[in-house]
Amino acid sequence: MKEYSTEVGGKPLIIRTGEYAQNAAAACTVQYGETVILATTVMSDTIREGIDYFPLMVDFEEKFYAAGKMKGSRFIKREGRPSDEAILTGRLIDRGLRPLFDKRLRNDVQVVITVLSHDGQNDADILGIIGASCVLAKSYIPWNGPLYGIRIGRIGDEWVINPTYEAREKCDMELLLEGKDDQVIMIETEGKEVEEKIVLDAIAFGQKHGRTVQKLIEDVIQAEGVEKLPIEEEALEPEDQAKLDMVKTKVVQFAEPRIAELLKGSKKAEHKAELHAIKEELDKLLKEDNDVSKEMRSIGVDMVEKFYEDGARKLVLEDRKRVDGRSLDEIRPLSAAVHVVPRTHGSGLFQRGETQVMSLVTLGSPGDEQVLDTMELSEKKRYIHHYNFPGYSVGEASPNRGTSRREIGHGALAEKALVPVLPPKEDFPYTIRVVSEVLSSNGSTSQASICGSTLSLMDAGVPISAPVAGIAMGLITDLTNPKNFRVLTDIQGVEDHVGDMDFKVAGTIKGITAIQLDIKLNGIPFEVCEQALAGARVAREKILDVMKDTIAEPRKELSPYAPRITTLKIDPEQIKVVIGKGGETINKIIDECGGNDVTKIDIEQDGLVMVTSTNSAMGEKAINWIKDLTRKIQVGEVFEGPVTKIVTDQSGNEIGAIVQLTPMKDGMIHISQFSNERIARVSDVVKEGETLKVKVMEVDNERGRISLSVKAIDPNFVKPGASPMPDRGGFSRHQDRGHSNGRPPFRSNIPRRRH
């Protein structure tokens, strides 16, 4: 076992090799704090036939044992399908590694990152990037690395390198950077409306300290690196080469003029149809030559795509024009609409060129929050953004087989962009779910989903602090002269396909909330980042103007179909009163207020009660019920309630009446508290079931007794037909009969007062 270390952000970063997974092409562990990952890579011995892409697989495996946790399910304890967070981390690593592979490679390459230990402080994603870079760089697998990975956070005006989870909560922005030397390869950023200059400063700061990480990996390569395998290309026999040259000549003569004419068009559908026609006609032409094999015809047809891509690049670099006729900084035609679907809680439609996205909002109770149970997290999420990309959006027939990694990634990006403008839970306790349906795609659907979702949230009446818009910036580079490049605003499908960069920037009029950068080159210079952010700022302002013309601010009222949430704060000690034994009380309230489909009740530990109901009357009933259950009766309060019982003493004498004040509390009116007139029987004054207005005279919390009075409200309260107290020898109530206190002697038939 060999160990290599350096210091990053005030903590040792340690790479160890030669200890585990000896059968892999290369393996290492990376440790930072007490978080440890195992990185491995392998490559198949044979190429995969019949594919036109590089088959790279990057898997990030969360292991619950790493954090000393058990999976939350009672029935399944084994790790199953990767969580969304693990998939996003795998994509994060993939996006940095992929550009540094030779595009001709067709062998399967797999990188697996396994988290062995997680300290709850240091994120394993950075270690995964470093480990993947190290094993690929020191193995025989063809790869033009190494690259570094580093996270930069900003707390106040201070930069923090690889901040802990706790520190990240205090950051107003964080930027994850992957790079090589002075080149930027991948960026992932989230911020609270930060200025472009701050993002650029973070990139520069990250590059400076990222080189320390790269140097550590280079030390490993120098000590243990092996020679890279060459990428084998099949050499043709002279006769076959001559036939291929002949095919190329025919393709150039037939296809180039038509492609040049096609590039002057503007619509994706026209381009797609014409390219298909050119290929079919070319294939038919080549079939007429019996010397051209089926394989040669296939190569010739593939050349059409290459001519098209080269023509699009040349158009931008030499003529400063684009395939649809736009200038380099021009946005496609924009349109926006809200309330496009009647029964949803909110809806928005955003269209940019041929890209069209509909976003729809559902508002739910606090109890509808998504529970996250991962290696890192055990918490709830109140804002959920889902993104769907069906085949019909690109005119293709494709089976629906679950959510793809790409769909998860685009949904997470939109979620990240919108979270900074959402109202705090204290002000808007709803759980919010937004679903973005891509109806038509010609590039930049993820950014269109951000715009559509902003529209839908405002239509739903969600009080966001500011609208958010997104734009995708592109890049065309002269591969023979990297200093000759053009940055494009609002790239469409063909420019994304043939271009070198997809720089997605989302934010408000004030600043940036999210960035995602992917490239196809070995890196881009800092200057490209500057131009892209500046162009994105201008474009974002234009898009926000169009959105503002559609809906200027969130609606003041929620949709009539959305549930209403009423909040109530109770003493935490009374939570058990509302819940009841085994949930009996709270379930009874829900059942009698319409059931779970109508009314939901959520209670937090601090005593915050949230009643969510789609029926205002049922919601009010539930709130009043809880108020009655938990209210503290105060001396002097006046209630009106039914008489539930006439109270007698052991001798059968009526001494008072019980009145229900709330569903959970009642009090007693002593016989002397009905009237200033003396009465013999309580039942002469009031009957069970009758309603009385009473005043609270005394509250004994220790004994759970409440004393009430009727005469304190109405001193002349007398019921018709009431029997007066029988005469006892002519003595008045307080006349002295030989007793120093001036009160009559005790008689067994005269009830004693109870307090």
- Which residue, chain included where needed, has tokens 């009539």? 560
Residue of 22, 14, 107, 18 lying closest to 56 (CA atoms): 107
Residues 590-622 have pLDDT tens digits of 999 999 889 999 999 999 999 999 998 999 999
Q: Decide if 322 contacts 488 (C-beta within 8 A).
A: yes
Given the structure tokens 């008689």, which residue do they identify? 747
* 436 vs 445: CA distance, rounded Å: 9
**Burial class, 1, CB count within 10 angstroms (exposed 0-12 / middle 13-18 / buried 19+):** exposed
C-alpha separations of 285 from 249, 293, 518 in Å = 13, 12, 39
Cross-sheet strand order for the sheet of 148-155 = 158-161, 148-155, 173-180, 183-194, 512-519, 501-507, 469-478, 481-489
Distances (CA, A) of 454 to 386, 399, 408, 423: 14, 30, 19, 13
Contacts 24+ apart (CB under 8 A), 644-650: 644/688, 645/688, 646/682, 646/683, 646/688, 647/682, 649/751, 649/752
pTM above 0.75? yes
CA distances from 112 to 39, 41, 126, 211, 670 (A): 6, 6, 14, 24, 80
Task: Give the DSSP letter of residue 524.
Answer: B
Residues pairing with 656 in the sheet: 647, 670
**By C-alpha distance, which of 697, 690, 749, 696 is closest to 719?**
690
Q: Cα separation of 602 and 582, whole Å?
A: 16
If you search the block for the tokens 């085994």, which residue do you land on?
582
How far apart are alpha carbons 114 and 38 in whole angstroms? 5
Q: Check residue 727 and give its pLDDT.
A: 46
Residues in the chain: 755
The listed CATH number (3.10.580.10, 1.10.3720.10, 3.90.1200.10, 3.30.230.70) that belongs to domain 334-550: 3.30.230.70
Question: How many Å apart are CA 630 and CA 438, to the nearest integer?
Answer: 49
What token pair was written down for 222?
């120098």
| Residue from 630, 662, 626 nearest 644 by CA | 662
Report how far residue 698's alpha carbon sits from residue 706's, in angstroms, rounded to the nearest whole number.
Answer: 6
371, two tokens = 């529970």
Instruction: Please report, to the nearest 10 degrees, the dihedral formed by the alpha carbons of residues 261, 502, 469, 506 taken in order.
Output: -160
DSSP code, position 429: -
Q: From residue 736, how far is each of 678, 731, 732, 743, 750 by CA, in Å?
A: 18, 8, 9, 6, 17
What is d(CA 137, CA 301) in angstroms, rounded to the nearest whole number? 36
User: Would you state the pLDDT for residue 85?
Assistant: 93
CB atoms near residue 678 (< 10 Å) = 14
Class of residue 227 by CB neighbours under 10 A (exposed 0-12, middle 13-18, buried 19+): exposed
Spatial separation of the C-alpha atoms in residues 673 and 694, rounded to whole Å: 10
Helices and strands, number each (H, E), in the chain: 14, 29
Assess whether the previous peptide bond of 146 is cis (omega < 30° from 0). Answer: yes
The Cα–Cα gap between 531 and 517 comes to 14
Domain 238-319 has CATH 2.40.128: no
Question: In the chain, what are the domain boundaries?
Answer: 2-224, 238-319, 334-550, 564-630, 633-755
15 close to 220: Cβ distance less than 8 angstroms: yes
Strand order in the sheet with 383-388: 334-338, 346-352, 355-364, 431-440, 383-388
Amino acid at 7: E
Q: How far is 337 from 687, CA to CA, in rounded Å? A: 65
Return left, alpha or beta for 358; rule: phi > 0 is left, psi -120 to 50 is alpha, else beta: beta
Is residue 469 within 8 Å of residue 547, measured between CB atoms? yes
3-state secondary structure 564-582: EEEEEECCHHHHHHHHCHH
Task: Look at domain 564-630 and name its CATH class.
Answer: alpha beta
The arrangement of strands across the sheet holding 2-8 comes to 2-8, 11-17, 26-32, 35-47, 107-117, 56-61
User: Which structure tokens are listed for 555?
Assistant: 């609606």
Would you tell me the crossing angle of helices 526-550 and 445-459 to the nearest 10 degrees?
30
- Give DSSP secondary structure letters for 571-619: -GGGHHHHH-GGGHHHHHHHHHTT-TTTEEEEE-TTSEEEEEESSHHHH
Closest among 668, 693, 681 to 754, alpha carbons compared: 668
Token duo for residue 6: 């350096």
CATH topology of domain 2-224: Ribosomal Protein S5; domain 2 (3.30.230)
Give the residues of the chain that fall short of pLDDT 50.
727-755
Q: Copy the structure tokens of residue 612.
A: 């969510």
Which CATH superfamily, name and number, covers 633-755? Nucleic acid-binding proteins (2.40.50.140)
- Gap between the Cα atoms of 445 and 434, Å rounded: 15
What are the residues facing 357 on neighbouring strands?
350, 438
Asked whether the domain spanning 334-550 has the same topology as the one spanning 238-319, the reply is no
What contacts 24+ positions apart, CB below 8 Å, involve 599-602? 600/365, 600/367, 600/563, 601/626, 602/365, 602/366, 602/367
Residues 6+ apart with CB under 8 A from 100: 143, 144, 145, 147, 180, 185, 522
